[in-house]
């Protein structure tokens, strides 16, 4: 029998005292205030057992992790029409890079970089009656948790400094790849990024991707085929320009955010979330990546 709690405890202990914890994201002022010492891990097996260590029940700003959830909702709503407006190739560039978007005529490389997620936000705006409420309800249903909410202070903080996202959205609009107004699309996008969840809630919300489209309450939200494709996109595009490194070190589909969270999963086996706000130069949680590398090495559980 694998002792998962012992493994999480060992990983936590080996990394807590590491001096270099990376740098907290400074370009969204509200995120720069989060203490770098925070560090938590939560593991949920597909069979329902849960294991936690450290600050796993403290809320973090999920930021780009929300891009997988908005993608899931858009895929559910418009199906394969989504791929007319964006590609599914890794970008090999930072999450907010603009030159590829211009070279490729306003078709984002994939839905997990900012330009792609902004197009996904536009799809949700066009297809949901009350976009913010309906999207939040979708996330709450996936996680089976009505306490999950937006953080308006974080959304506002990002709106005031979101020059790069305004540039991307204007470029998309100029190529005819946004149906709605730039301000409305970005307002939705900043809100989706501002959702707060703890590591346990993240493993709950991502259970659907480990369970062929059925959430922790066994309700079907996505088809097995849609989940297969979303997991493929997470594996190849989920870690900025470090997706290859994450596949190499960890070997799981997943997604990170500049709030320092990472969620990863092994289909039919588990979902795991880590949180440590210090980021490496590519924007991925410095300790989180190391913790997940240790986890899949120690347990020998990865897709490879
Ligand atoms: N809201 C952030 C941005 O658009 C998300 C970045 C991230 O987590 O990768 O810059």
Which residue of 69, 158, 167, 188 sits with most ligand 1 atoms within 8 Å of its CB, as the best mutation to test the pocket? Answer: 158
Q: Residue 179 belongs to what domain range?
A: 4-299
pTM of the full structure: 0.97
Residue 131 has pLDDT above 80, yes or no: yes
Residue 236 has pLDDT above 90, yes or no: yes
| Domain membership flag for residue 159 | yes
Nearest-angstrom CA–CA distance, 204 and 25:
25
* SS3 label, residue 67: helix
| Domain membership flag for residue 304 | no
Task: Give rounded-to-5 percent helix, strand, coil for the chain.
Answer: 50, 10, 35
Does the beta carbon of 122 lie inside 6 Å of ligand 1?
Answer: no
Q: Ligand 1 atom closest to Cα of 117? A: 4
> How close is the Cα of 58 to the center of ligand 1, in Å?
20
Residue 211 has pLDDT above 80, yes or no: yes
> How close is the Cα of 95 to the center of ligand 1, in Å?
8
Q: Ligand 1 atom closest to Cα of 193? A: 1
End-to-end CA separation in angstroms for the chain: 21
Does the beta carbon of 158 lie inside 6 Å of ligand 1?
Answer: yes
User: How many structural domains compose the chain?
Assistant: 1
Summary mean pLDDT of the chain = 96
Q: What pLDDT was estimated at residue 100?
A: 83
Taking every pair of Cα atoms in the chain, the longest distance, rounded to a whole number of angstroms, is 57
Structure confidence by residue, pLDDT tens digits, 166-198: 999 999 999 999 999 999 999 999 999 999 999
Residue 93 has pLDDT above 80, yes or no: no
Residue 95 has pLDDT above 80, yes or no: no
Does the beta carbon of 165 lie inside 6 Å of ligand 1?
Answer: yes
Nearest-angstrom CA–CA distance, 68 and 81:
17
Q: Are 77 and 124 in contact (CB under 8 A)?
A: yes
What CATH number is given to the structural domain containing 275?
3.40.710.10
Structure confidence by residue, pLDDT tens digits, 241-289: 899 999 999 999 999 999 999 999 999 999 999 999 999 999 999 999 9
Residue 223 has pLDDT above 80, yes or no: yes
């Amino acid at each position: 029998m694998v002792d998962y709690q012992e493994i999480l405890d060992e990983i936590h202990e080996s990394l807590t005292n590491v001096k270099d914890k990376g740098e907290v994201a400074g370009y969204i002022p509200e995120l720069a205030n989060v203490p770098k010492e925070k560090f938590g891990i939560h593991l949920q097996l597909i069979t329902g057992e849960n294991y936690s260590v450290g600050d796993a029940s403290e809320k973090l700003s999920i930021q780009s992790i929300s891009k997988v959830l908005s993608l899931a909702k858009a895929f559910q709503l418009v199906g394969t029409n989504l791929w007319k407006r964006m590609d599914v190739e890794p970008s090999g560039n930072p999450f907010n890079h603009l030159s590829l978007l211009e070279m490729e005529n306003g078709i984002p490389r994939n839905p997990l970089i900012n330009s792609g997620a902004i197009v996904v936000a536009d799809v949700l705006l066009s297809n949901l009656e009350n976009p913010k409420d309906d999207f939040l309800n979708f996330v709450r249903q996936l996680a089976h948790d009505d306490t999950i909410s937006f953080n308006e202070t974080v959304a506002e903080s990002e709106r005031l400094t979101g020059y790069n996202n305004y540039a991307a959205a204007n470029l998309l609009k100029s190529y005819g790849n946004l149906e709605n107004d730039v301000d409305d699309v970005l307002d939705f996008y900043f809100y989706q990024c501002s959702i707060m969840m703890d590591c346990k809630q993240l493993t709950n919300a991502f259970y659907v991707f480990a369970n062929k489209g059925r959430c922790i309450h066994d309700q079907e939200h996505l088809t097995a085929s849609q989940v297969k494709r979303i997991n493929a996109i997470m594996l190849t595009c989920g870690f900025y320009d470090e997706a290859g490194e994450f596949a190499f070190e960890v070997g799981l589909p997943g997604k990170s955010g500049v709030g320092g969270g990472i969620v990863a999963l092994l289909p039919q086996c588990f979902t795991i979330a880590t949180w440590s706000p210090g980021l490496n130069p590519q924007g991925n949680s410095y300790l989180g990546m190391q913790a997940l590398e240790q986890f899949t090495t120690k347990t020998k559980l990865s897709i490879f």
